[in-house]
């Protein structure tokens, strides 16, 4: 989207450097007076003690206001920092529908795993453990780059 001339104007990419280290990054979209905060990442090394993610978020909110956005949408996820900034919560629902035998098998697995996945995401310690485990596994896959964190 960032390199497509038709959508480039909707994209906002930013970062906050601490010293020479990119300490916090963001990929957002702007559409119909709403800033959509889609992907955020931060360096969890030495500079993390300075709170670069929080500082960067404040700058993103300021930027959104400066360009005339009336809403700032944190998008999906129950990360604690979102509750500190939001005055509304939108309850989301899952819907699964299979249309083939193969789809029925996949849907059964998804439905069986959904309560476990939800429990993990709602417990900060479990979420941190599984996030780090997933990153460790992905880092061992040849040619795979790690995804940015929240």
> What are the beta bridge partners of residue 37?
28
Model pLDDT, residue 118: 84
Rounded-to-integer distance, Cα 110 and Cα 146, Å: 24
Neighbours of 64 (CB within 10 A): 22
Model pLDDT, residue 28: 94
Model pLDDT, residue 143: 66
Contact 117, 126 (CB under 8 A): no
> Which pTM value belongs to this model?
0.65
Model pLDDT, residue 11: 92
Mean pLDDT highest for which of 46-50, 97-101, 133-137, 138-142? Answer: 97-101
Residues 15-61: tens digit of each pLDDT = 998 888 888 999 999 999 999 999 888 877 888 888 888 889 999 99
Q: Is 60 exceeded by the pLDDT of residue 145?
A: no
Domains of the chain with bracketed CATH: 1-90 (3.40.630.30), 93-150 (no CATH)
Q: Is 90 exceeded by the pLDDT of residue 146?
A: no
Q: Which residues contact 1 (CB under 8 A, 6 or more apart)?
A: 7, 8, 10, 11, 29
Rounded-to-integer distance, Cα 38 and Cα 93, Å: 19
CA distances from 21 to 17, 25, 135 (A): 5, 11, 21
Q: What angle do CA 48, 54, 56 make, to 5 degrees?
A: 95
8-state DSSP, 102: H
φ, ψ for residue 149, nearest 5 deg: -95, 180
> What are the beta bridge partners of residue 30?
35
Residues 31-41: tens digit of each pLDDT = 999 999 998 88
- In this structure, the dihedral spanned by the alpha carbons of residues 77, 78, 82 and 84, taken in order and rounded to 10 degrees, is 170
């Amino acid at each position: 989207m960032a390199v497509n001339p038709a959508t480039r104007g909707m994209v906002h990419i930013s970062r906050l450097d601490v010293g020479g280290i990119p300490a916090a990054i963001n990929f957002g979209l702007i559409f119909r007076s709403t800033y959509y905060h889609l992907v955020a990442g931060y360096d969890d090394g030495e500079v993390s003690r300075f709170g670069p993610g929080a500082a960067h978020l404040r700058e993103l909110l300021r930027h959104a206001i400066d360009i005339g956005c009336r809403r700032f949408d944190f998008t999906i996820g129950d990360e604690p920092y979102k509750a500190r900034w939001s005055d509304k919560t939108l309850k989301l629902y899952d819907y699964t529908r299979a249309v083939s035998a193969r789809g029925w098998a996949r849907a059964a697995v998804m439905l069986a795993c959904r309560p476990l996945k939800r429990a993990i995401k709602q417990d900060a310690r479990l979420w941190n453990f599984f996030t780090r485990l997933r990153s460790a596994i992905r880092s061992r896959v040849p040619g795979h780059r790690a995804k940015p964190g929240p």
